[in-house]
Structure 1
Amino acid sequence: MTTPSTAIEKQAAYLGVPWEDAYGYAQAIKVGNTIRVSGQLSHDDQGNLIAPASLDRNGRPSDFSAMEAQMRATYANAAKVLGQFGASLDNVVEETLFVLDVDAAFAVASRVRGEAYDVARPKVASNLIGVSRLAFPAQIIEITFTAILPET
């Protein structure tokens, strides 16, 4: 428990998807002029995964052709979360992409990121990390973001 003298003021953003309550987390937290966005997925407003990957008999993704569609939807969800604080992807200074297939991500990342940031070479520090699993079996990408609002 923090004492009043050490507590910081935090604002939270939510999208109303089921796992916010099930897991107990916020989509983003704003402290001062910095916004940290939790791992974003490719879901619709009801929490249904957009372009779920095909799964093999063991319940693991067997095809990564949905990477572009999932990546595009993930950036769109991040923009919605940032918008709750009056920010946009233009305020993003760092992103980390967690992917199940690095080659599939590299094949589409330049095009999708260019569309999302509306510039061929976004001024964003970017990390691409291959992982063995994400939160949902048919999910093949998750992206976190750090954004900074102008000083007021």
Structure 2
Amino acid sequence: MTQTTTPQSKQIANHGVPWEDAYGYAQAVKVGDTIYVSGQLSHDAQGNLIGAATLDAAGRPSGFSNMGLQMQATYENARKLLSHFGATFDQVVEETLFVLDVPAAFAVAGEVRRGVYGKTPRVASNLIGVSRLAFPEQLIEITFRVDLSVAKDSPA
């Protein structure tokens, strides 16, 4: 017996920011019931960073006080991508936060994430400290995996 499978098509969503074409990638890709969201950051519609960190003489962030602002804006950009596919944060099954300063991220992550996911977030989450992100003023980047077979508005 021979089994034939039909390839599933990929649907993509983008924000329309300059680095999508410059680097050559999609912000989100949907295949079947799964959405893979590329690393999101805190930019506005024109691609300007929201809460950009001030840089020191060496070109590194001189402080991390904007971590919460950048984190909130990053989740908002992810929300826009999810809504393109009719999805919500209720259907996120995994997220990975890449941060320049782990203590600064931990200090704000609980409150910000509860604002996104509700009182008891039901999502696998990874918080990883890194030495550099795409833009020098960037403090955080978040990726997501979304399962559309998960019911929206599931109990928290």
TM-score range with shorter-chain normalisation? Answer: over 0.9
TM superposition shift of 1:150? 2.2
Contact persistence 1:110–1:120 (CA under 8 A): no
Helix, strand or coil at the partner of 1:129 = strand
TM superposition shift of 1:8? 3.7
Aligned CA RMSD, in angstroms, stands at 1.2
Alignment match, 2:33: 33
Helix, strand or coil at the partner of 1:135 = coil
Alignment match, 1:73: 73
Contact persistence 1:98–1:143 (CA under 8 A): yes
TM-score by length of 2: 0.90
- Runs of 5+ in structure 1 lacking a partner? none
Larger Rg belongs to: 2
Matches within 5 A, 1:31-110: 31-110=31-110
Alignment match, 1:137: 136
TM superposition shift of 1:7? 4.5
**Number of aligned positions between the proteins:** 146
TM superposition shift of 1:6? 7.4
State the percentage of identical aligned residues.
68
Structure 2 Cα separation of the partners of residues 95 and 150 of structure 1: 17
Contact persistence 2:41–2:77 (CA under 8 A): yes
CA displacement, residues 107-148 of structure 1 (integer Å, 9 cap, x when unaligned): 00000000011x122100000000000000000000000011
